[in-house]
Structure formats: C-alpha cells, structure tokens
Amino acid sequence: MKSTKFTPERNISKAETDRKWWEIGDFFRRNSLWLLMYCTGCCAIELPPAMTSAYDMERLGMGPMATPRQADILLVSGYLSLKTLRRLIYTYEQMSEPRYVVALGSCPINGGIYHDSHAVINQLDQYVPVDVYVAGCMPNTEAVMNGFVDLMEQIKNKSANGWKKYHDNYEWYRQNQIQSLGEVDVHDEFHD
Amino acid sequence: MSITILNFLIGLGIAFFGFVLQTSIAGLNRKIVGRLQKRVGPRWYQEFLDIFKLLSKRATSHGWIFDFGVIMALGGIIATAMFMPLTSTFNAFGTYDNFFIFVYLLAVGMLGMAMSASGSGNPWASIGVMRALTTMLAYEVPFMIIILTIIKIAGSSLTGIQLYQQAAGNNWFLIALPLGGIVGFISLMGMLGKKPFETYIAPAEIASGPMVEYGGKQLGMLFIMHEITVFIEVSLFVHLFLGGATNIFIFILKYFLVYTLANLISNVNGRFKIDQVVTFFYKWPLILAIVQAFIAIYLGWVI
Amino acid sequence: MTNSMTNVEFVQNLVKSNVNVLQEHITDQYQVHFVVEQDQVHYILNILKNAGWIQMSYLSAIDWPEENKFELVYIVFNWEKPVYVQIRTKIDRENPVMNSILPIYPGSKYYERECHEFFGVKFPGNPDYEKQLILENWDDIPPMRKDFDPEAYSKRKFPQREYSETYIVQSEGKSKLAKMEARKQRAESLRGGKK
Amino acid sequence: MSSLAVLLIAIPLIAAFVSILSKKVAPYLLLIASLINVILLFYFVPDGIVVIGGYDLPYGINLFVDTFSRTGLGVVNVLFLVIVLLNIVEFKKYSSVLLVALAGLNGLLLTGDLFNLFVFLEISGIAAYLITTSNHKPLATFRYLIIGAVGSSLYLFGLIIFYGMFGTLNLMDMVSFIQANNVDPSALVLPAMLMFIGLGVEAKLLPFNSWVKGVLKDSNTLSGPMIAAVYAATISFVFGRIINNLLTLAFVGNLLIVVLVLLAVGIFIAEAMAFASTKVREILLYSSIAQASIVILLFVNGIVLWAVYLIIANALSKTVMFLVINKATKDHGDDESDSLQGVFSKNILVGITFSVATLSVMGLPLFMGFVVKLNYLTELAVGAQWALLAVILISSIIEGIYFVRMLIKLWYPEKNEVTVKFDLGFKVVFVAIALILLALGTYTAPLNTLDNSIDTIAEVIDNG
Amino acid sequence: MANIELLLLFLLASGIVSYFLTKWKSFVGSVFTIFSTMFVFASLAMYGFSGQLDTTVNVIPVLSFAQTNIGFYFAIIIVFVYLMVSFFHPYFVGEYKYKNSYNVMFLLSLAGVIGTFFADNFIQLFFAFEFIVWTSMLLIPMGKSKKAAVSYYGFSAAGSFAMLFGILVMRSVSGSFDIDLGLASLAGGQATLVFVMFLVAAFSKLGAFPFHIWLPEAHGNAPHPFSPVLSGALVKLGAFVAVFAILRIMPSTPLIDFANSNLPHIPLGQYAVVILGSLSIVFGTLMAIKEDDAKKLLAYSSMSHGGYILVAFGIMTSQAVAGGFYHILAHALASAGAFMAIAAVAKQTGTTKMSELGGMIHKMPITYIVYLVAIISMAGIPPMGGFISKWLIFQAVIDKGMIFVAIAVFFGSIGSFLYVFRPLAALFLGQELREYKVKVKEAPFLMLLPMLIITALNVYTGVIPSAILNFTNGMLVDLGLAPVSITMWDIVGTTGTLNPALIALVFGFGVVIAFIIFIVLKKSKKVTLMETYTAGNFVHDEQLLHYTKDFYAPLERLYIKYTTIMKEFYETLAVKVKEIGRFGKYLFMNKFIGTTILWIIAILLFLLVGEVL
C-alpha cells in the first residue's frame, strides 16, 4: 500500500546528479580562475596591466598563484624552447584537475618569428592541450582579457575540456613529446 | 553546568557564523583594497567562490599524514571557534571559555598544518613551517604579557573580561591599558600573518610557504581553517580590548573595523625578513608590554 | 686622453715583441685584435695575463666553411689599462683540436664546453668539455656550424601547423633600404629640423 | 705468659740474623716468621704492659699492648704476610730486609717508650730504604733516605727536649707528669711541633713528603703495597697514638689552628695534584697522601675509632690498587692512563675488585669506605668543624671525578690492545679484600663492637 | 602486604641472578629483568595506593622505611618508567660492551630509587641517593661518549655532598637524622644554609640552570634504552629534593612585599629559586632549538621542564604546587615516550642525528603516533597531560603577577612547541631517504607495547585529571597547603575554570566534522613524495628535497654567540684545579730535597715567631 504522502519519483540517475554538481562546480570554477603565470616569452609583459587598475582581472575573480597545485590556468606567454617545454609539461602534470591552458602570442600557434629556429617548437597543442589561443605578436592587454573571458564562456558551455583530452589520448601527446623532445624527464649533473 | 548536544550545536553554529562573517568581510576588504588601488576590485562574495571552487577540484595527496594533518588542523580550529563567545551573553559552553583554551587549541591547528605541510615532502613547506613557528614565538610572548595583565585584573574567562569592561566605571582595555592595546594590535597583525609579518606565506620567496603542495579540497579546507582562525583572532582582540559586545551588530561592526584597519595597514607595508620579525617583536612590543604590565599590576593605574 | 693611446701602443709593442702577428687591427681606443699562429696562443695569453689582462671575457669560434677553418677568438680584458685584446687563430675544421687554456684562465672551462657543444671543437686538458651544458639531449651536428640548417631541423622535428591556403605577402619591390630612408626623413621633419 | 709480646719483635730479628747466614733458607724463614707472628698475635698475646730488663727510668723500656695496638699489629702483620706471600718468588733476595722491616714495624706498634720508638723508627726506615732499592731508582731511594733521616732526627730533638723537661722517656709517665702539674701548653709548642714534623715526614703529610713521589711513582708489586699500605698503616697508628695522648696536650689555641690549616691545605692540594696527573700510579699515590692527611686530621680532632677504621679501609684498598696497577705496568711497560686503556676488558674479575676498592676509597655506598666516611664526617659535624667538613667534601668531589675518569679509561679500551695476565694468587687476594670491603660496607655490625675508648693509655694513667 | 625491605632484597638478588642469566644469553637475562621490574611495580601499585605498604624492617637492622604520600607518588612514577623501559632491554642489551653488567646496574639503581623514596631518615636517603649515582654512572659509558659519565658523576657528587653537608648541619641542630624532626628544628641562619645546600643538590640532579652542563652529554650519549630512565625518572630525584628544600624548609629570608599589596608575597629564597627556574627554562629552550642530535634536544627539553617544576614549587601557592606535581607526572610520561620513540628509530637506523634521518613515518607509523602524542603533551597542548600542569602553573604565575617569570614561562611553552616539532619534521616527516627505504621496518611488538601504554596514559592524564589531582591534593595537605578545588570533570583555578574532558570532546567533535567535509568531497589522487613543486627542475635525489640541517637557522643566528658561556666556565674551573695541582707538584714534589727542609724550617720559624710574640 503506497503511502498517500507526495513522494516525487526518484528518477534522477546518478550521472544526472553528477552533471548537476559539475555545473554548479563550473559556476565556481568560472568565477574564480587562478593563473599560474608561466612567463616563458615576451608576451608576459602584457600581464601587469591586466592586473592593475586599467583592466583589473581581479574583478573577474582571477589572480596570480605561486604553485601549479593551486592554479587552474597555465598561462603560456610567448615562445617555448625545448628546455622550457619539458618543464612546462612537468608543471602541467602537477596541476590539479580540471585545468586549462591559455597561450598568448603567435609563437605557441605556429612558431611565430622563431618558426625556423632549431630551439623553438612551432605548435604548442601538439604537446599540451590548449584551450584558448590569443594571437598577436604580443597581443595587447585587451586581447588577453578577451581571451580569459572566452575561456570563461568555454567553461560555461562545458567545451573547455582540454584536460579531459589530455587524459583520453595521453598516448598521442606522449608520443609527440618524445618525438620532438627526446625525453621529458632529463637528468643533469646538478640535480641528481 | 551540564553540557548537552544543544551546546555542541550552538558551538557549531558559532563556528559556521564565524566562517561566513569572516569570509564576507574578507571579500569586502578585497573590494576596499581594490578601490584603494584605483581598480574595480572583486565581488564581495569572491572569497566564497574561491573556496567552493577549490572544494570542487580534484587534488593530489602525498600520503595519509598529508590528509590527516589537514583534518586535524580544521578540526582543531573548529573546536576553538566553538568556544568563542559572540556577545557577552551568548556563548556555547557557559563559563568554560577560558582564555588559554584559545591560545593552545589554536596551537593544535598550527601543529596539524605544520605536520601535513612537512609531510608533503617539499622543502618550501618545511621552510614555511619553520618561519611560521618562529613568527609565533615572536608575537606570542608580548601578547601573553598583556593577557597576563588583563587576566590579573578581570579573570581568565572571556565573558568575564567582557562584562568587566562593560560594567559601569570601567572602560575598554584599549583605553584602560593604552600600551596594551597597541601591543595587542601589533601581535594581532603577527597572528593574522598580515603584510609586515607575512614571512611564512611569502608567495615571492617560498611559493606560499606551507601551502605549496596543497590543491583542490585540501587547500579549500585550509582556506576555511584560515578564515576561522582569523575570525578567532580578531574576535579575541575585540573581546579583550574593545569591550566585547552586548548585541551581535555591535560585535560585527567592531569586528569589521578591526579587520579592515589591519588589512589596510597590511597593504601599505613590505615584508620583514624572518629574523627581523623576531628582533622587532622582542624590542619595542615587549618593552611596551612589560611597562604596561608593571604600571597596571604594581602601580595599579588602570584608567 | 693620451694614456689610452699609449695603452693600445703598449699592447701592440707587447704582442709584437713576443710573437709574430699575422694580422692586426685596431677597432678603436679600447679594442684591438691580433691573429696569431695556433701554437703561439698559449704563450701570448700567458704574457698578457702577467701584464695585467687577468679577465677572460669570452672565448668562442667563427665558422669559415669555405676556408675549411674555425677561427677561435679569445677576448681578454685589463682593469687597470682598459683595453679589450682579442687573440684570434685559425684551426682546422675537419678535426678541430685546441689545447685548453684552463691552467691560464680557469674561468674558460664553461666557454670551452659551450664552444665544443655548438661548434664541436675539442679542448683536451679541460676534464669535462664533452659534458652537455646548454642543449639537452641534442641529436644532430653542433648547431652553430654554418652547414647546419635549423629550418630543416625544425621541419623534421617539430610538427608545423597546416593552413588551408598559403598567405604570402607580396612586397612591391621597394627595397628595404628605401623604406628605412623614408622613415628617417619623416622622423627628422617631426623633430622640427633641430640637429 | 704476659711477656709473649716481645716474641713479636724477637722472632723476626732472630730470623733476620739467621737468614743473613744462609741465603738459601731466607725466604722460608721469612714466611715462617711472619706466619708465627700472625698466629702469636691472634691467640697468645694478652693485653697489658710488658716491662723488659727492669732497668730504672731512662733506660727501662716497656711494651704496651691494648686493643688499639692489637688492631694495628693485626692489620700490619696480616697485610705483611699477604704481600710477602705474593712476592716471595720474585723478590727472594729481599727476605732478610723484609724480616728486619717486620721487626721494626712490630716494635713501633708495641713500644710504649718514646726513645725506643725512635730506635724502631730507624730500623723500619732502613728496611724501607732497602725495599725501595727494588725500584731500581737509586736517586729516589737516596732522596727518601735523606728526608727519612731528617725526619727521625727532628723527632729525636723533640724527644730530647721533652726528656729535658720531664726527665722520663716513657709515654705514660710523661703524660701523667704533664697532667699532674698541668704544664703550661705554650711551653710544649716547640717539642710537640718538632715531633709532629718528624713523624709527619714518615706519615706522608704534605709539605714534608717530596720523597713519596719518587718512591711510589716507579714502585713494583713489592715496594708499592709495602710502602703505601703496610708502612703507611703502621706510621698512622703510631702517629695517632702519640697525637691522641701526648700532642693533644700541646695542640691548644692557635697551634691547633696552624696544624689543622696545614692538614686541610694538604688534603686539598693532594687531591688537586692527583686531578692534574695522568699516570695511574701518580693518581694513586697522591690520593693516598690525601687519605693519610685525613687520618691525621681525625686523630688531631680526637676521632680515634673512625681514624682506625679509615686506616684499615685505606690499607686494604691501597694494597689491591697498587698490586693491580704495578702488575699491569710490569706487563705493559707504561702506566700512562691513556696507554693502559681497557686493561680490565680482558680480566673482568680483577677489574671488578679494583673498582670495588676505588669506589670504597671514594666513599660510595655498599662499601666500607662509605660507612667510615659518613661516620667520621658526622663526628666532625658534632665537633662543629664546618670549615674542615667543607674542605673534605670538596676534595672528595675532586677525588670522585679523577677516580671515575681513571676507572672509565681502564674499563673501556680505545685503540691498542693491552694484554695483562694476573695469576691465581693475586686474584684470590683481590677477591678476599673486595669481599671484606663489601661485607663491612653492608653488614656494619662488627664495626661497632669497638668504641672510642680503644686507646686505653689514658685509662692506664688515670687508674695507675 | 608488600614489604619494602623485601622488595629491596628481591631486587639485589634479581640483579645478581640477571648478571649470570645475561652472561648466558642476553635475551633471557633481559626478559628476567622485565619480570622482576614488573613484580616490583605490581606489588608497589597494589598496596601503595591504599597506603598500607609494610615498612617493618627485619633483615637489615640499619634500614628504616616510612611511606609518605609524596614519596609514594614519586616512587610509583619512576618505577613505572623503569618498567616501561625494561621492555626495550631484550633488543638493545645484546650489543653493549659489558652487557651482563647492564641489567645488574639497571636493577640496582631501581633498588636505590625505592630506597630513596621510602626512607624516613636522612642517612638512608643519602645512602640510596649515592647508590643511584654510581650505578647509573657505570651505565652511561656504554653509550657513545665516555666523558659524559665523568661530568655526570662530577655534578651529581657535588649535589649529593652538598646535601650531606646540609644533613650534617641539620643533625647538629636536631640531634638525629630523622627527616621530619630535622626539617622542623631548623631556624634562622642555619635554615638558610641547609636551604641553599639542598637547592644545590636539587639543581644538580634536575639539571637546572647553573648545573646543566652534564644533562645533554649524559642523556644524549647514554645507551638508547637508558636515556628515557635518565631523563624521565632519575631527574625526578632532583624534584624530590627540591620538595624538601623549597616547601618544607622555611628559610627566614625577608619577604618581597613593598607597600603595595599586589606584589607577590614570596620569600626571597623561594623567589631566587623561581628566577633560576625561569632562567633554566629559557636557556633550555634556546639550546634545544639549536641542537642537531635528537636525544640531546630532548635532554635540553628535560632541563627546561625541570625549570617549570622549580618555578611551580617556588611560587608555593596550592595551585602552583599541584601544577608542579602534575608536571612531574606529565613530563615523566612525555619525555619517556619521546625518548623511547627515538630509541626505536635509532635501533632501525643506527643514528639519532636529525641531519641524517628522514621520512621514518612511512615505515614506522605507530612509533610516529607515539612520538606525536608525547610531544603534544611536552608542548602543553590541550588534549594531553602537559596542558593541565602548564595551565595550573600559568594560573599561579598570573595570580602572583610576576612579569619576568611570566615572560620566561610563556617563552618556554611556545619554544617547546618549536623544538619538539623539529625532530617530528626532521626524523619522521619529509622525504624518505633512499638508504632507509629498504632497511627500516616497524619496531617489534614488545617495543611498541610500552610506547602505546605511555601514549594511552598521556591522553588519560590530559582528559581525566581528577583522579590524579585527588592524589596530589592529599600531598598538598601533607605539605600544609590548601587542596586545589576540583569537581568530577573540571578544575577550578583562581582566575577561571577548565574542563579538560570538554576540550577533548569538542576537539574530537571538530575533527569529526572536518573528516566529514574531507570524505564528502572527491577522492584525491595518490602521488609519491618526489613529485613535488620544484619550480620546474627535475630533482631525483631525496637528500636535496629534505630540509633538516639547522632547521631554525635564522633564529639561531641571533644568539649563537652566547651559547657556550656556561660550558667554558666549567671547563676553566677544571683547568684551574689542574693548575693548582701542577703548582702543588712544582712546590712540594720537585727533585731538590732542599725544598722539603726549607718547608720544615719555615714552619718551625713561623711557630717560634708566633710563640715569642
């Protein structure tokens, strides 16, 4: 004999509740993005104006963070030499999920002015999934801020899943890294 | 005084209220500091967003001591907050709010965090913990001398101290013991880790010190712990020096003023080296504390 | 400034009197360079060091593929008599070997390692000149040699981004020099013609 | 029967003359004589006065046997027998000298006549000089001879003055004469001090004992224990008897203060000297100087009983310590405490006995030394001698430190291996003495059988 | 009815038996030691608490016993520490040089302990006191350094001879060695002299400020199983003598009492003790912060806790003395637990130097928990026993309003948090060094058992103090002080009430909530210790990521220059005595005979001149 009190049908499946939680999480993640400023190249000079009174990224909830463990965004600003890329991959793997990569400048896109150099890689998203590219050989601050807002949009409509891509086809990325860099985890005489 | 589950729940309520109050005031303060630097500044609930964002992320853990330390830290701090009286009439455990509980249960929180930080295996964390303990050694002694004077005058239960200050004829200890108030505020800056004494979370030098290895939920829990610690320390200052509060709104007002003043001073200061912190605290604050204690106890001049 | 001239003269007499100089050139009152035989280099560097040129500023090589020679350049500096003296020598390119000057200038250890890494010059006498210094896991010929083609290496090792059609900017034949000249003119006019 | 006491002196003398005639039989004579002496002493010799020769006053001599001299004789003869037994094989040719020494020592303890005491002093002194020749250090023996002669001649001057003043040489008559017509003590100062210094030289008191270092620094298993234990015990007994009866009458007012200061400074500096030295035998000899000064200090303060027990305890411990160290130095060659390190790691039993002896000298519980030290300190406290008490306590701290340092060095080997072998005879003696020290330390009943009236000369004088 | 004298004889007998058993097989000998100490502890505990220990003497006439509350309190704590440590013997005694004499000396010193605390006349007290000194002195050289035993004996001998001097002075006044009669009969100048002498004994045994040089060397270098006994138990002898000195001898020193009534009414003598106590707290803490060897660090912590006990007894209010007694129990348990944990680590790794150790927690988690609870109690943090005693002492210091003592006391309690954390971080946490990854495994069960018992006791004394405080109230009444008012759960101090059970409950409640928060959220990814943030560098050597060498370097730099003053003072003292000795040798013992004759003539002339004038 079913009780007469009104009990709603429990038809929300577990995946459903998870997705609901994930959306709420997205709202928080969107509104409090922490940057790990991996200032590899010359585009890093665009960041101070982004933080100070002119553009003030803090009103978007964004702020600089000291260590990869605490950061959400890995901000690649400028060209990536082989040695820097190895450290970048190591740091990327240390960040806590979900994590995003924002690449400033044209160097991560196609090698930029260093496209023909033996030391600089030409396309960043072969090695690390990049969510937002901000083109320009040194994009001005407004472009950078737009890039961040685009990232927020992507998080909102759940398309900023570079980190999931990194999980799923980790082998492909790994193979690319080995092909270009030889080996990621290097030993040298000072740190052994 | 029989202790029932109700007391525990009230205590938990106080702790939660403390967390919410402090987080929102911290948000407001970030706004004020933003406006100070002529920029827009974040929303007032930005701190909440940060904390819940951290709790939603998937973190990494370095072993059972790394997690147990965080749990012990947050547990210790919540326990301390449960004892905290909000107004002179309202507190969870009646007359058991002895001053020493706060100082020493706070130490349990510090121990938990220190343990898990150095358990994370990162040298930055150990250096951060060393600096935190050295700073604690620095600001604690002058503060305790002033507390000695207050307890000598008004007994060691916080509500007792509040009632003493609110009684007719007596005024706030900030006015009754002026030097004590100054030393208390400087020690509060040390306790909160505000800028001149922020050597143990120095983001530039040791990559945010003990917090270097925390991400996701551990960092979120440590942020909650930090907020509640700040609540405890600032409300201690309010109860000890500003005469506590008869109703909740006065308490919130005094709380806001003290925290904002501390924050503003913090934002115009550089950062001390760790041995400068120790020599600073053992020079003027200690001398002031001794003079104040001498005047208050032996000469009996309590204004 | 009479004494600086005498410094250069002083250096000239010093070097000429001790070793036969193949070629000599004074860039200005602070820089002078001499080209000497390979086996004379150690001798002249010793003399310079005793005369006060105690700092080894730089050691590197220049690749002359057509002469099939490497030209090693040693730049030493004297703090009392401020003159940069460059000692240059040409060594064989196929089997470039040059005894290390570690005993004279201990500081040259890393320069020699770098020179080996980027040019392939061997420096017996320096215990760890083969060790990797700057390039990590480099798998090609030393990159600074002229016969090394970085673009080919870049194309081979790093995947390029494919674009659907090629955007090639056609420059209208105005030479680069002419453009620079026009720009200079406009800057002059803006400055109001003052010298 | 009563005159058997004379035999104690006579037998060794006769044996000595016979042993000179035939070298071969000398060691057996020595053993027999000392054995007879011990038997005689314990079973046959009664108390009382033995008058010899019945001459009138200045020439007549009488022997005086009472509990005080009996204990002295007992200790000396038994220890003499033990040491002789251990060294008879090695020092065969010294038997006649040892016989003379035995006669002299017994004579010293027995005689009641002061001049006779001087004679026996000379006899035992000569024997002592000859024993020290076994150290093969002629210069040290020569120095001991000269100072010994100076000492005994000073004693003689004192005696002559006393004889001049009181006309008698007999201890008892002289004391009763002084007490009868209560002579002004300031008159007695010079002779008393002369006699004090004379005997002080032989009793190793500080300013007068520069010979001790030469003799004991390079002693061997015979001369070490003989000089340090047997001779020291005898002289302490004799000196104590004279102080207790005769010199106390003189030690009044500031003379007493001078003597006490002399002794106290002597104790402290002796301990400091031991603290400063690293050679094990030097440490032992300086500590025995300090102990000797404490004994004399007790006699001067009238604490006779515990002084006697201290002499016994010291004699026992010193024999063990000197025997062990001399034997170790003979085998190892050098007695520097660093080079002798770890000598006990191989022979544990000898190590234990040596440690027991050292701890007893330091005055630590469970050993005789503790009981004696505690009691004589209490007696001093009763006598309200706080300054002396403080000096003794401070010097016993210093003594404790250097003894512990020495003990730990001897127990724990460092680099080189020290191989020293002690044969059975030595071990038996060591264990026996250690057991005595341990027994008397814990079960203190036998110690309180005797009491302060041990020296009965005073009684004899009072009741005629 | 446990007869004390029989216990003593039993111990002496078992000492001899254990000598032969250890000679045969060291494991059997050590197990025998465990059972004999257990028997002694059981018999004492069963009859002691109700106070009917049989004190009749039938075998050895000279001994005489009396059971007092204070004596029993000390005895039961120390015998308990002896029992707990004896569990370590089977694992450690095997490799010492004179292993069979180790068990003997251990049991003999235990006999000495019982003899001291149940003595009713001073002679037996002194007898047992000296007996402990030389038995423990022979144990110390079996550890690392031989010189430690010499300095240990030097200071202990100085202390006990000073006490003997006091006893003799008291005897000359009261005529007998009886304790109560002697103490009561003292008055005026003599009382002060005896007070000072007993203080010297207390300070040298406690290792407090002026006589603390031997403490780090003896505790640091003693054999691993013996240092918990040294610092947990034997230091308390000093406290026992301090009770005599401070609380029962009332030296007629002037009272510190200016016109104003707020000033502390403490006699000058007691105030001097309090000042020296606080000095030893401060110096103990400063020296401990700088120390690199874990055992020396804990030794300095015993010095600073000795200072707390002296301050507590010096203030002489009922609260302070109760705090002092409670602190004796809390510190005995805490330092015994800490030393045993370090001994367990030293057994596995062979060293106690913090710069060579790291990451022990991964292989020895239970030892880590034991050490953690021990240092929480040592630092005086709430759920553990140390907090109660420190709270009582703070109440008393504040009540008396002594500012400079308060500075030292608060500095000591915060400083103790600093230096106890250092071995925790250096020894147990941080990177796991490669050479210990394979070799180290958890301590065997027989070693863990005592450690866990002590941990449980640490927590018990922290949460439910009423049983122990009742017992200490009985002792306070013996000393003529008002008992501390305690109800079932909380302690009523002069300035506030404390409910330790409530604090522990609320702390547990807080931890449960934090645990719930932790569980609800997503599980975090397990990561090894080497994958830490190293600013991008690839580091492969654990040593580079392990921060232990001079942990508090910036703090050290501030006072490093002044740390060796006291040590140099004592070394120059020793050199002075040596110089006197050498001068004496030069003066009296030189080769030239003339000097002796010169001395003889000089004395004679001095006398004659004296006489003639």
Numbers of helices and strands, H then E, in chain A: 7, 5
Residue A96 at interface with chain C, using a CB cutoff of 8 Å: no
Q: Which residue of A has its CA nearest to E524?
A: A96
Residue B93 at interface with chain E, using a CB cutoff of 8 Å: yes
Give B20's pLDDT tier (boundaries 50, 70, 90): very high
Per the CB < 8 A criterion, the answer to whether E32 and E21 are in contact is yes
pLDDT in tens, D222-248: 888 998 899 999 999 999 888 888 888
Question: How many structural domains comprise chain A?
Answer: 1
Q: Taking the CB of residue B36, how many other CB atoms lie within 10 A of it? A: 13
Residue E521 at interface with chain A, using a CB cutoff of 8 Å: no
Q: Does A28 contact B53 at a Cβ distance shorter than 8 Å?
A: yes
Residue B94 at interface with chain A, using a CB cutoff of 8 Å: no
Residues 54-83 of A with CB under 8 A from B: 54, 56, 58-59, 61, 65-67, 69-70, 72
Q: Does B213 contact E558 at a Cβ distance shorter than 8 Å?
A: no
The pLDDT value given to residue D454: 66
Task: Give mean pLDDT, residues E291-317.
Answer: 92
- Which domain does E604 fall in, by range? 576-612
Task: Give mean pLDDT, residues E172-187.
Answer: 82
Give the residue from E89, E123, E141 where a domain finishes. E141
Give D7's pLDDT tier (boundaries 50, 70, 90): confident
Measure CB to CB from residue C137 to each of A110, A179, A183 and give the nearest one.
A183
Measure CB to CB from residue B40 to each of A28, A56, A70 and give the nearest one.
A56
Q: Which chains touch B (3 or more CB pairs under 8 A)?
A: A, E
Tell me whether residue A13 is in a domain: no
Residue D277 has pLDDT above 50, yes or no: yes
Smallest CA–CA distance, residue E541 to chain A, in Å, is 5
Residues of chain E contacting residue A88, judged by C-beta atoms under 8 Å apart: 536
**ipTM for the assembly:** 0.86
List, in order, residues 6 or more apart from B225 with CB less than 8 Å away: B70, B73, B74, B77, B109, B113
Give C4's pLDDT tier (boundaries 50, 70, 90): low
Residues of chain A contacting residue B58, judged by C-beta atoms under 8 Å apart: 96-98
The pLDDT value given to residue D420: 83
Task: Give mean pLDDT, residues C67-71.
Answer: 92
Residue C194 has pLDDT above 60, yes or no: no
Greater confidence (E216 vs D249) lies with E216
Give D440's pLDDT tier (boundaries 50, 70, 90): confident
Q: Does A56 contact B207 at a Cβ distance shorter than 8 Å?
A: no
Q: Taking the CB of residue E516, how many other CB atoms lie within 10 A of it? A: 11
Q: Which residue of E has its CA nearest to A92?
A: E536
Give C171's pLDDT tier (boundaries 50, 70, 90): low
Task: Give mean pLDDT, residues D323-334.
Answer: 87
Residue B55 at interface with chain E, using a CB cutoff of 8 Å: yes
Residues 26-85 of B with CB under 8 A from A: 30, 34, 37-43, 46, 49-50, 52-53, 56-60
Residue D115 has pLDDT above 70, yes or no: yes
Residues of chain A contacting residue C158, judged by C-beta atoms under 8 Å apart: 111, 121-123, 126, 180
Per the CB < 8 A criterion, the answer to whether D269 and D326 are in contact is no
**Domain boundaries C2-161, corresponding CATH code:** 3.30.460.80
Greater confidence (D3 vs E139) lies with E139
Measure CB to CB from residue C136 to each of A83, A109, A118 and give the nearest one.
A83
- Which domain does A133 fall in, by range? 31-181
Residues of chain E contacting residue B300, judged by C-beta atoms under 8 Å apart: 260, 262
Q: Does B40 contact A70 at a Cβ distance shorter than 8 Å?
A: no
Give D1's pLDDT tier (boundaries 50, 70, 90): low
**Hey, which bits of E478-567 come out as E strands?**
491-492, 497-498, 525-526
Residue E190 has pLDDT above 80, yes or no: yes
Tell me whether residue A95 is in a domain: yes
Residue B234 has pLDDT above 90, yes or no: yes
pLDDT averaged over every residue in chain E: 88
The pLDDT value given to residue E68: 86
Tell me whether residue A68 is in a domain: yes
Residues of chain C contacting residue A117, judged by C-beta atoms under 8 Å apart: 150, 154
The pLDDT value given to residue C1: 44
The pLDDT value given to residue A3: 60
Smallest CA–CA distance, residue E528 to chain A, in Å, is 12
Q: Which residue of A has its CA nearest to C151?
A: A116
Residue A160 has pLDDT above 50, yes or no: yes
Measure CB to CB from residue E533 to each of A88, A94, A192 and give the nearest one.
A94
From the centroid of its chain, how far is CA E437? 34
Give D404's pLDDT tier (boundaries 50, 70, 90): very high
The pLDDT value given to residue D57: 60
Measure CB to CB from residue B38 to each of A24, A53, A66 and give the nearest one.
A53
Residues 96-115 of B with CB under 8 A from E: 96, 98-101, 104-105, 107-108, 110-111, 114-115
Residue E225 has pLDDT above 70, yes or no: yes
Q: Does C160 contact A123 at a Cβ distance shorter than 8 Å?
A: yes
Q: Does E406 contact B297 at a Cβ distance shorter than 8 Å?
A: no
Task: Give mean pLDDT, residues D88-101.
Answer: 86
Tell me whether residue E121 is in a domain: yes
Say which residue the tokens 């260590």 belong to: A67
Greater confidence (B139 vs C188) lies with B139
Question: How many structural domains comprise chain E?
Answer: 2
Q: Which residue of E has its CA nearest to D265?
A: E584
Give C49's pLDDT tier (boundaries 50, 70, 90): very high
Smallest CA–CA distance, residue E8 to chain B, in Å, is 44
Lowest mean pLDDT among A1-10, B69-78, C106-115: A1-10
Measure CB to CB from residue A70 to each of B43, B58, B215 and give the nearest one.
B215
Give the residue from E85, E118, E141 where a domain finishes. E141
Residue E442 has pLDDT above 60, yes or no: yes
pLDDT averaged over every residue in chain B: 90
Residues of chain A contacting residue B203, judged by C-beta atoms under 8 Å apart: 66
Per the CB < 8 A criterion, the answer to whether A105 and A78 are in contact is yes
Q: Which residue of A has its CA nearest to B42?
A: A59
Task: Give mean pLDDT, residues B236-262.
Answer: 92
List, in order, residues 6 or more apart from E377 with CB less than 8 Å away: E330, E333, E334, E337, E384, E385, E386, E387, E458, E461, E462
List, in order, residues 6 or more apart from E442 with CB less than 8 Å away: E363, E364, E365, E366, E367, E448
Q: Does A118 contact C148 at a Cβ distance shorter than 8 Å?
A: yes
Task: Give mean pLDDT, residues E200-221.
Answer: 91
Residues 41-70 of A with CB under 8 A from E: 67-69
Smallest CA–CA distance, residue A85 to chain C, in Å, is 12
Residue B95 at interface with chain E, using a CB cutoff of 8 Å: yes
CATH number of the domain encompassing residue A71: 3.40.50.12280
Return the HEC string of chain B.
CCCCHHHHHHHHHHHHHHHHHHHHHHHHHHHHHHHHCCCCCCCCCHHHHHHHHHHHCECEECCHHHHHHHHHHHHHHHHHHHHCCCCCCCCCCHHHCEHHHHHHHHHHHHHHHHHHHHHCCCHHHHHHHHHHHHHHHHHHHHHHHHHHHHHHHHCCEHHHHHHHHHCCCCCCHHHHCHHHHHHHHHHHHHHHCCHHHHHHHCHHHHCCHHHHHCCHHHHHHHHHHHHHHHHHHHHHHHHHHCCCCCCHHHHHHHHHHHHHHHHHHHHCCCCCCHHHHHHHHCCHHHHHHHHHHHHHHHHCCCC
Amino acid identity, position E273: V
Measure CB to CB from residue C161 to each of A86, A122, A188 and give the nearest one.
A122
Residue E259 has pLDDT above 50, yes or no: no
Best residue of B56, B61, B116 to probe chain A, by most A CBs closer than 10 Å: B56
Task: Give mean pLDDT, residues C73-82.
Answer: 92
pLDDT in tens, A1-60: 556 666 666 667 788 888 888 888 899 999 999 998 888 888 889 888 998 888 888 989
pTM: 0.89
Q: Do chains A and E have 3 or more beta-carbon pairs under 8 angstroms?
A: yes
Q: Which residue of A has its CA nearest to C138?
A: A182
Give the best-scoring range by mean pLDDT among C164-173, E405-414, E585-594.
E405-414
Tell me whether residue A135 is in a domain: yes
Give B255's pLDDT tier (boundaries 50, 70, 90): very high
Task: Give the CA radius of gyration of chain A.
Answer: 20
Residue C130 at interface with chain A, using a CB cutoff of 8 Å: no
Q: Which residue of E has its CA nearest to D254?
A: E610
Helix (H, G, I), strand (E, B) or coil at E529: coil
The pLDDT value given to residue D303: 86
pLDDT in tens, A77-102: 889 998 899 999 999 998 988 899 99
Task: Give mean pLDDT, residues B194-209.
Answer: 84
Q: Does E531 contact A94 at a Cβ distance shorter than 8 Å?
A: yes
Q: Does D277 contact E603 at a Cβ distance shorter than 8 Å?
A: no
As beta bridge partners, residue C31 has C28, C84
The pLDDT value given to residue C160: 86
Say which residue the tokens 């005896």 belong to: E194
Q: Does E558 contact B148 at a Cβ distance shorter than 8 Å?
A: no
